[in-house]
Amino acid sequence: MQQDAIQRLDGGLRKRGDCAKQTSVSAITAIYNGEKYIAGYLESVLQQDYPGIEHIVLDGGSTDQTVDILRRYDDRVEYWASEPDNGVYDAWNKGLTEARRRLDMLSRCG
């Protein structure tokens, strides 16, 4: 029995070594096949005027254009990753391990 290899894609400011701002809140977003919603959601978080928001996006291995949209925000989102997961709670737990602050906001997009 042959298993498909699990593919993990990731990006964001942290992967570029460009995360110099002081983080005070970690916003963790779980999404799966949310191409209709993710750009608006990312823009909403980016427009917040609260200083030091670290936005982490965990995608469950979407098969639509979600990852392409995340790539377009690579220079404005702290960290994103796309890989199969076991649902929203699994994604949030992965995000919590990536978060640099303990005051976290968990959300689901789509």
* pTM for the full predicted model: 0.81
Mean pLDDT of 48-56: 87
| Helix, strand or coil, per DSSP, at residue 79 | strand
Domain that holds residue 100: 9-109
CATH number at residue 42: 3.90.550.10
Q: Does the pLDDT at position 3 exceed 50?
A: no
Residue 1 has pLDDT above 60, yes or no: no
Residue 87 amino acid letter: G
Does the pLDDT value for residue 2 go beyond 80?
Answer: no
Q: Is residue 2 a part of any domain in this protein?
A: no
Q: Are 74 and 46 in contact (CB under 8 A)?
A: no
Determine how β-strand 104-109 pairs with β-strand 25-31: parallel
Q: What is the pLDDT of residues 67-108, one digit of tens each?
A: 999 999 999 999 999 999 999 999 999 998 988 876 556 666
| Residue 65: DSSP 8-state | S
End-to-end CA distance of the chain: 34
Summarised one tens digit per residue, pLDDT across range 21-47 is 666 788 899 999 999 999 999 999 999
> Is residue 47 a contact partner of residue 79, using CB atoms and an 8 Å limit?
no
Residue 26 lies in a domain: yes
Q: Is residue 1, in this structure, part of any structural domain at all?
A: no
Tell me the two tokens of residue 47: 């427009």
Across the chain, which distance is largest between two alpha carbons, in Å? Answer: 52
Number of domains in the chain: 1
How many whole angstroms separate alpha carbon 99 and alpha carbon 94?
Answer: 9
